[in-house]
Each structure stands twice: as C-alpha cells, then as structure tokens.
C-alpha cells in the first residue's frame, strides 16, 4: 500500500498497513490473555494472528456473500478447503473481529455436511476474537456461516450523498494489515496463501468488483461470480460495490470508477500499460493477467492498496498533470514485491514496501526520466532523515534480529519504505545496475508465491550476490542495513539540481529578498512545490503567509500533497485566513496521510482543537473507520483522555 513518494512522516510509531505509505495506526495493546496467539510450528511467529498454520492451512476459500446496504453488512458463508499439516491436529483456529458466527459445518467423507462445535473467545484488541472449530474427523472442507457488523473495521459503507454521483450507495474493503478478519473469518496471516472463488449478490443497479478476475464487459444484474486462481495472503482479499463503470487503458489494464471520474482517471493513468511493459523488461513477467485500478471516493484512508488485479486508488492523485502517478508505479510494483514475494509477517515489512519503493523509482526513471526520479528520492530521504532520529532503535531498524520476539505493537512505518529502498540502492551502487537487476529478477522468480523473512533474504543475497561478486559488500553490511538503527554511513547520496534551485529561491526570499518570479515557478512540478513548502520554517508571520498566498494561492489548492504541508504551517503560524479552506479540505478528504498533519497541528491549541472537533463532527459520517479512529485518538490525546486508543491496523 502506498500514498506516493511524497510522504510526510507522521508522528509516533506505526505498524505497517500494507502498501500505502500513508502510515497506518499502531496495532496497540498488550498480548492478549485467554486468547493469545498460539506458538506456531512454522518458521515464523506472527503476533498479529491466532491462526496455527503449522497444524492446518487454508488452501482454497469459497465465498457466498450478499451485500446489504440497508443494514451495512455482508452476510453469507465461507467454505475452506484444508490441508491438515499436523496428523494430530483436530482444531481449525481462525481470526475474526466483530463477526457473528451463525453456524459451522464440516464435510464428511461420504459428502454429507454435519454440525461442528465451535467457540468464540472474548475479543482482545487489536487482534479480535479467536474462533476455535472442533474438527475431530479432520474434514477436508469446513463451512462457516456468518455476518459482519455495521462497524466492521475493514469495510466502509457510504450513502449516496457521500459519492460523486449522489444516486447510489458505495461499499469498499480495506483488508491490510489485519482487517480481513472483520469481513471474512480467516487465517489472517501472510504465512497462509489461498486461491478463492466468490458468488456475490447485490442490488441490481450496483456493480460488484473483487481482487479477482473482474470482467470489463460485465453487466450489472446483481449476481456476480469471481475467481482468483493465484494463491494470495488474506490481506489482499478485497471487495467493492457501487456505481462503477470501466474505461480501458491498454490490452490488460483499465480503470473502474464512478461515471463522473472514469475518463479523468483514465487520462491521468494513461501510462499504466507502459509501466507494466517497463517492469516486465526489468524483473520478469506480470503473473496476474490483468492490472486494473479502482478509483475510490475521497474517503479511502490510504493512497493506494495493491489488491491483485484491482489496485484501489485514491482520487487525490488525479491532479491533471501526471505528477503523482508514481503511486500507480508503486501499486503496480507490488505485483512483484509483496503480492508475488510476500513478507512472512509484518515485522519484515521492508520486503514488501522497501523493495516496492525501489522498483517504483526504477519505473519512474524509465518513463519520466532520472531528474524526476531523483527529485522524488531526495524528498523521501529528506523526510526519513528528519524523522528517524526521534524514533526508537526498533522503529529505525528494517527488521528485528532472529530470536528476538517482537511485541504485538512492534512499530513499523516509513522506514520500511524509504530506508528499505535506500538499502537496495546501496546494493545497486556497489554491484552495478545490470548485475543487481539480474539478481532481483532471479529473486522474484525463486520466491514467487512464497512468504519470506529478512534472514532468508540475507542468506539468498549472500549466496547469489555477495559470493558471486566477492569484495563488494560484506554480510555484516547487509545485517547493519537491516537490523541496526539509523542510516549507515555507506548510504549512497542522490543530488537534484532542480530542488537545489528551489532551496536557493526559498532562502533568497527568507533572507529578505523577493519571492521567485511567476515566470520561474510556472514550470515547477508538484515535487518542487512540495520541496519549497516543506523547507519553510515551522512558523512564519501572517504577512509572509499572506504574501505566499497572494503569489501562489496555496490556500484552497486542489493538490493534496501541497495542502497537507501548507495547512499545518498555516495553523502553527496563526494564519486564520486559511481556516475556512482547512475545514473544507478536512471534510472532503479522508486520506489519512493528507489530513492527519493538519489535525495534529490543530489539536496543539485550544482554538485549533475546537475547530478540529467541529470539523470531525461534520466529516465523521464520510470517514473510513480507520481515519475516524486516528483523528479521535489525536483529539483525545490533546484533551488528556487516554481511554481512546489508536485503532488497530
């Protein structure tokens, strides 16, 4: 999951939420008692799951679901085809959150289905409730009939008024990192990969899509079937329903969106097919058949989510000049790093996000030139440098050393993206681009459709890179990058003359000179404007802010990347002229990365806190539960209320 390379680091430790660099809220809370995750007999312990994949594993999932907009719920059944790994195992343990389990049955050898006993443990945040199913006959197939809660953390239900068209309701899922369990009872851990089929019914005027074989020619009839033949982990399970139409981009790519948005999105993302071709040339075949994108309403809490065959995309990157389409490159890159080769647990998130961010940069360079790729790299690394010193040693590291058991709330955030990508750039720098490209392509082939950890990467790189090209990198350097805090002195640097020119223009103005001439700034890209605003002091005088506004119209900008930097500065500086635009922005956009810095700035003063509470009261119905929980936690902290916890990832 990813916002774009232009991410402002959020304060505080965060648990990786998947692709989106829009940092996810921490999965806080102590290890549960009475329902704690059992010690798994597989090679990795996933502290975010109750499942026991060393005993039994889901190989295939068959869903029968009905979409009920009136009651804001999905209802139906999940049928699991199981591989009983341990010959002594007679229990299937599943992860759930706020589900109502109505019935559990197992298939006997004679084909008849019989009731199975089950027990739902008391919910323990952030993991939810452990569902234990007794299967004394070790049924090859087990079926759970259930329904979701209206407040399911992995689903958002929008009324027609909250959509662009205003006529039909909308629903979409967000499963990463551990939200799939809120709409399907599952072994909700990346250690388990399964194929799936689904039969979904809905109101006839609603189009339903899933992270599967969506037919661009499908007719709306309220009855839809799906198949995902490639095995995926649970966090890549996705569903959406609404007034959606399709616009093709290439032979195997296109855009789904509401009618008023689809043409604009297709134009903005017109280079998608070229991106697929570029990545295939670098790292091997695209193995998912189609790559389509679904543009969601602005309430989507992240920049993008790499659901296979159907990436979910925020509309906030559609700005008319393709300046933010590195997000599309990022989500596509996940088709190799993350979806194909997956982290064994979220504690090794850099294997998904760092590798993907590196591949993203290579795609951007191939299509838009080294100058643009370098600007985005410099912006990302500057943000990392600024924030990493305030993190704990654990949060500064890409992974935890083998043998050290992480806490349930082990932090992971932008370090996984930017330090991870920097690490791969270090390897490219030392070994040479051609040699490193060949290694990375071999890596994707070797571990395709598998989950691995950091130590596995080190062993593989030691054998296939270090030993093949001796004297260039030591194993100790690999381990320093992955397991040690901070940024190693060996980190290669990237320069951007265009951003250097922005620095000079900003400094000249702050030193008492004039603002850059419009003739110069007219050619600036989003990256240059972001760099200009990010480099301003923490506060400015209202006269200075007014001068900037008069020259560049920052207040009310349609560019969310600029807005998420300008509005906190305006709040900190007491620039009340921006308050009305801030309220409009916060009510219109639910993307966490873009709005949380402004809420945090508002919460720092009594006057700002009052505005934040007023805006949230109006925006709450249109926010995703993840976003609402994040804002609630910021406001509660400002008011000294420790009873409101940051929502589980």
Out of 281, 300, 333, a domain closes at 333
Asked if residue 520 belongs to a domain, the reply is no
The domain in which residue 446 lies consists of: 341-404+411-483
In whole angstroms, what is the distance from residue 505 CA to residue 510 CA? Answer: 9
Token pair recorded at residue 570: 């305006």
Reported as a single tens digit per residue, the pLDDT across 498-538 is: 999 999 999 999 999 899 988 889 999 999 999 999 999 99
- Asked if the structure places residue 239 within a domain, the reply is yes
Q: How confident is the model at residue 19 (pLDDT cuts 50, 70, 90)?
A: low
277 and 347 co-located in one domain = no
CATH of the domain at 158: 2.60.40.1730
Percent of the chain with pLDDT over 90: 82
When pLDDT is averaged across residues 470-477 and rounded to a whole number, the result is 97
Q: Do 113 and 221 lie in a common domain? A: yes
Q: Kindly report which listed range (227-241, 500-514, 616-630) carries the lowest average pLDDT score.
A: 616-630
With 60 as the cut, is the pLDDT of residue 94 above it? yes
Q: 16 near 24, Cβ under 8 Å?
A: yes
Q: What is residue 404's predicted lDDT score, i.e. its pLDDT? A: 66
DSSP per-residue codes, 237-282: --EEEES-EEEEEETTEEEEE-HHHHHHHHHHTTTHHHHHHHHHHH
- The arithmetic mean of pLDDT across residues 449-474, rounded, is 97
207, 71: one domain: yes
Q: How many domains does the chain have?
A: 3
Cα gap 239→305, rounded to integer Å = 12
Task: Note whether 365 and 308 are same-domain residues.
Answer: no
pLDDT band at 250 (very low <50, low <70, confident <90, very high): very high
Statement to judge: residues 290 and 429 lie in one domain: no
Q: Measured between alpha carbons, how far is residue 593 from residues 77, 347, 406, 641 in Å? A: 35, 21, 26, 23
**Is the distance from CB of 176 to CB of 17 less than 8 angstroms?**
yes
In Å, what is the CA distance from 52 to each residue of 186, 230, 413? 11, 22, 27
Q: What is the mean pLDDT of the chain?
A: 91
Range list of β-strands (E), 56-140: 56-68, 73-84, 91-96, 100-107, 113-115, 118-120, 129-134
Phi-psi sector, 610: left (phi>0), alpha (psi -120 to 50), beta: alpha
pLDDT of residue 409: 43
Q: Which residues are catalytic?
A: 331, 417
Q: What's the token pair of residue 487?
A: 């940024």
| 524 found inside a domain | no
417 and 545 share one domain: no
pLDDT for the residue 496: 97
Please tell me the least confidently modeled range out of 17-21, 308-312, 359-363: 17-21
| Calculated CA dihedral for residues 204, 208, 213, 217, nearest 10 degrees | 50
Quote the CA–CA distance of 421 and 373 in Å, as a whole number. Answer: 13
**pLDDT reading at 642 higher than 70:** no
CATH number at residue 574: 1.25.40.320
Q: Return the pLDDT at 166.
A: 86
Residue 583 within a domain: yes
Predicted local distance difference test score (pLDDT) of residue 11:
30
**pLDDT attached to residue 165:** 86
Cα 564 to Cα 381: distance, rounded to the nearest angstrom: 18
What is the C-alpha to C-alpha distance for residues 556 and 26, in angstroms, rounded to an integer? 31
Q: Are 383 and 9 spatial neighbours (Cβ–Cβ below 8 Å)? A: yes
Cα–Cα distance between 579 and 608 in angstroms, integer? Answer: 9
Same domain, 150 and 274: yes
Per-residue pLDDT at 135 exceeds 80: yes
Do 252 and 308 belong together in one domain? yes
What pLDDT is recorded for position 8? 34
Averaged pLDDT, 347-364: 97
Q: Which residue has the higher pLDDT, 313 or 19?
A: 313
Note the pLDDT tens digit of each residue in 99-120. 999 999 999 999 999 999 999 9
Residues 619 and 471 in one domain: no
**Domain at 472, CATH number:** 1.10.390.10
Q: Do residues 446 and 322 both lie within one domain?
A: no
**Residue 471 backbone dihedrals phi, psi, to 5 degrees:** 85, 0
Same domain, 388 and 321: no
Q: Average pLDDT for residues 357-382, to the nearest whole number?
A: 97
Q: What is the mean pLDDT of residues 603-629?
A: 92
Give me the pLDDT at residue 187, please: 98
> Per the domain annotation, does 28 fall within a domain?
no
pLDDT grade, residue 298 (50/70/90)? confident
d(CA 546, CA 540): 10
Judge whether residue 646 has pLDDT over 70: no
pLDDT band for position 413 (cuts 50, 70, 90):
low
Residue 225 lies in a domain: yes
| Averaged pLDDT, 422-438 | 98
Does position 645 have pLDDT exceeding 80, yes or no? no
> Helix, strand or coil for residue 561?
helix
C-alpha closest to that of 442 among 470, 463, 415, 469: 463
Q: 15 falls in which pLDDT band (50, 70, 90)?
A: very low
How are beta strands 253-257 and 245-250 bridged, if at all? Answer: antiparallel
Length of the chain: 649
DSSP secondary structure letters along 393-415: HHHHSSSPPTTPPPPTT---SHH
Domain-terminating residue out of 333, 366, 384: 333
Say if 530 falls within a structural domain: no
Instruction: Give the pLDDT confidence score for residue 172 in this predicted structure.
Output: 95
Residue 542 CB contacts under 8 Å (≥ 6 apart), including other chains: 573, 574, 575, 577
Mean pLDDT of 589-618: 95
- Among the candidates 333, 356, 371, a domain finishes at 333
Average pLDDT rounded to a whole number, residues 638-644: 75
pLDDT of amino acid 38: 39
Considering only CA atoms, which of 288, 323, 330 is closest in space to residue 308? 288
pTM: 0.90
Is the pLDDT at 2 greater than 70? The verdict is: no
Spatial CA neighbour of 100 closest among 128, 142, 62: 128
Residue with the bigger pLDDT between 7 and 359: it is 359
pLDDT digits 0-9 by tens, 259-297: 999 999 999 999 999 999 999 999 999 999 999 999 998
- CB 230, CB 308: distance < 8 Å: yes
Look at residue 207 and tell me if it is in a domain: yes
HEC per residue, 421-482:
HHHHHHHHHHHCHHHHHHHHHHHHHHCCCEEECHHHHHHHHHHHHHCCCCCCCCHHHHHHHH
Query: Is the domain of 325 the same as that of 441?
Result: no
């Amino acid at each position: 999951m990813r916002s774009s390379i232009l991410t402002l680091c959020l304060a505080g430790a965060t648990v990786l939420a998947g692709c989106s660099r829009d940092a996810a809220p921490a999965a806080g809370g102590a290890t549960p008692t009475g329902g704690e995750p059992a010690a798994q007999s597989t090679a990795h312990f996933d502290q975010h799951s109750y499942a026991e994949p060393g005993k039994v594993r889901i190989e295939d999932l068959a869903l029968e679901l009905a979409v009920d907009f009136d009651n804001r719920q999905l209802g139906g059944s999940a049928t699991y085809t199981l591989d009983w790994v341990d010959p002594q195992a007679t229990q299937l343990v599943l992860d759930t959150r706020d589900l109502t389990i109505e019935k559990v049955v197992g298939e006997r050898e004679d084909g008849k289905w019989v009731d199975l006993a089950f027990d739902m443990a008391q919910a323990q945040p952030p993991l939810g409730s452990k569902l234990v199913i007794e299967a004394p006959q070790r049924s090859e197939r087990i079926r759970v009939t259930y329904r979701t809660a209206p407040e399911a953390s992995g689903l958002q239900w929008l009324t027609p008024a909250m959509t662009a068209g205003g006529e039909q309701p909308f629903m979409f899922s967000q499963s990463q990192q551990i939200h799939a369990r809120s709409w399907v009872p599952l072994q909700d851990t990346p250690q388990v990969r399964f194929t799936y089929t689904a039969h979904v019914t809905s109101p006839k005027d609603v189009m339903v899509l899933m992270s599967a074989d969506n037919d661009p020619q499908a007719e709306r009839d309220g009855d839809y079937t799906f198949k995902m033949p490639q095995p995926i982990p649970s966090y890549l399970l996705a569903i959406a329903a609404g007034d959606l139409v399709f616009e093709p981009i290439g032979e195997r790519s296109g855009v789904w969106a509401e009618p008023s948005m689809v043409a604009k999105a297709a134009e903005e993302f017109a280079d998608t097919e070229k991106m697929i071709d570029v990545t295939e040339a670098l790292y091997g075949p695209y193995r998912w058949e189609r790559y389509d994108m679904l543009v969601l309403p602005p309430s989507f809490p992240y920049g993008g989510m790499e659901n296979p065959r159907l990436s979910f995309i925020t509309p906030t990157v559609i700005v008319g000049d393709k300046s933010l389409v590195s997000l599309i490159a990022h989500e596509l890159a996940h088709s190799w790093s993350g979806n194909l080769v997956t982290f064994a647990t979220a504690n090794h998130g850099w294997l998904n996000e760092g590798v993907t961010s590196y591949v993203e940069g290579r795609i951007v360079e191939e299509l838009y030139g080294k100058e643009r790729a370098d600007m985005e790299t410099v912006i990302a690394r500057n943000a990392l440098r600024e924030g990493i010193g305030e993190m704990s040693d654990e949060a500064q590291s890409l992974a935890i050393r083998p043998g050290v058991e992480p806490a349930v709330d082990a932090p992971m955030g932008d370090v996984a993206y930017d330090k991870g990508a920097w690490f791969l750039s270090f390897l490219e720098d030392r070994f040479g681009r051609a040699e490193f490209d060949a290694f990375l392509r071999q890596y994707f082939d070797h571990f395709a459709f598998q989950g691995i950890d950091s130590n596995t990467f080190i062993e593989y790189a030691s054998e296939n890179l270090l030993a093949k090209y001796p004297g260039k990198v030591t194993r100790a350097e690999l381990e320093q990058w992955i397991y040690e805090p901070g940024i190693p002195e060996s980190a290669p640097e990237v320069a951007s003359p265009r951003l250097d020119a922005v620095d000079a223009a900003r400094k000249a103005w702050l030193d008492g000179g004039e603002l850059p001439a419009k003739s110069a700034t007219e050619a600036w890209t989003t990256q240059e404007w972001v760099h200009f605003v990010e480099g301003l002091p923490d506060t400015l005088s209202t006269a200075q802010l007014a001068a900037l506004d008069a020259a560049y119209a920052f207040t009310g900008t349609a560019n969310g990347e600029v807005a998420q930097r300008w509005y906190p500065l305006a709040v900190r500086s007491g620039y009340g002229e921006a308050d009305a635009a801030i309220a409009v922005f916060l009510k219109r956009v639910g993307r966490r990365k873009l709005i949380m810095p402004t809420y945090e700035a508002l919460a720092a003063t009594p006057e700002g806190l009052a505005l934040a509470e007023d805006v949230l009261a109006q925006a709450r119905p249109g926010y995703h539960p993840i976003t609402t929980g994040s804002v609630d936690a910021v406001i509660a902290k400002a008011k000294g209320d420790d009873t409101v916890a940051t929502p589980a990832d």
